[in-house]
Amino acid sequence: MLPDGVELCAVSKFHPAEAIKEAYDAGQRIFGESRVQELIEKIKVLPSDIKWHFIGHLQTNKVRQLIGRVSLIESVDSVRLLELIDKESEKAGVVTNVLLQLHVAKEETKFGFYPEELLEYFSGREFEKLKATHICGIMGMASNTDDIGRIREDFHTISDTRKRILEIAPDLRGFSIVSMGMSGDWEIAVEEGSNLVRIGTAIFGNRQY
């Protein structure tokens, strides 16, 4: 169903390990979780070649628990969090892959960088201070609305911000991931340049919170 070059992160939050194992047996390897405790419990009982993506708001006091255990932290939403991840990764002797989360949606979440903030971060070349963190790209969500035009506009802004960052810092290496699109809007996201979609409900059904 996904075009070539677009990866699927199966968002398994709130679903039991058995549901993940079923998708794993069908060939899926990338899974997304949004709570640290839940993720740690699942890592313990599931195959070790799963690539876990952390996609929720990450509290600073939980960073250490994630380091060395996830293949990508998609939801880095502040410079403070980024620098803490870097510090803990260096201490642990690992390199952590991250995406920077953009805030473009009208209401959806209060987390994430505004595009202008990120452009400033890169023009100030603050990323050069990082020792054990690889910024692989950006992540974002569109507004929670039925207005297709607005959704497309949000995705366009996210994609475009990545391009603008690369113009500011053309020497950035491997800044290639644009993570956007969920069950209800992934097709528009892909049209607007997403190469990593995060899909939960359409794969696992409704979540029981």
Ligand X SMILES: *Cc1c(COP(=O)(O)O)cnc(C)c1O
Contacting residues toward ligand X, per CB under 6 A? 11, 13, 34, 55, 182-184, 198-202
Beta-carbon contacts of residue 147 (< 8 Å; ≥ 6 apart)? none
* Cβ count near 80 (within 10 Å): 10
Nearest approach in angstroms of CB 75 to ligand X is 7
Nearest approach in angstroms of CB 125 to ligand X is 28
Nearest approach in angstroms of CB 193 to ligand X is 17
Nearest approach in angstroms of CB 99 to ligand X is 11
Select 85 or 199, whichever has its Cβ closest to ligand X.
199
Select 53 or 130, whichever has its Cβ closest to ligand X.
53
Select 184 or 193, whichever has its Cβ closest to ligand X.
184
Cβ 207 vs Cβ 169: under 8 Å: no
Select 11 or 135, whichever has its Cβ closest to ligand X.
11
Q: Give the residue nearest to ligand X (CB).
A: 200
Nearest approach in angstroms of CB 170 to ligand X is 29
Select 55 or 76, whichever has its Cβ closest to ligand X.
55
Per-position DSSP letters for 96-161, written without gaps between them: EEEEEEE--SSSS-S-SB-HHHHHHHHHTTGGGG-SSEEEEEEEE---SSS-HHHHHHHHHHHHHH
Q: Which two tokens stand for residue 18?
A: 């058995």
Beta-carbon contacts of residue 123 (< 8 Å; ≥ 6 apart)? 168, 169
Cβ 104 vs Cβ 80: under 8 Å: no
Amino acid of residue 208: Q
* Helix H or strand E encompassing 65: helix 63-66
Q: How far apart are CA 124 and CA 92, in angstroms?
A: 27
Select 90 or 108, whichever has its Cβ closest to ligand X.
108
Nearest approach in angstroms of CB 157 to ligand X is 17
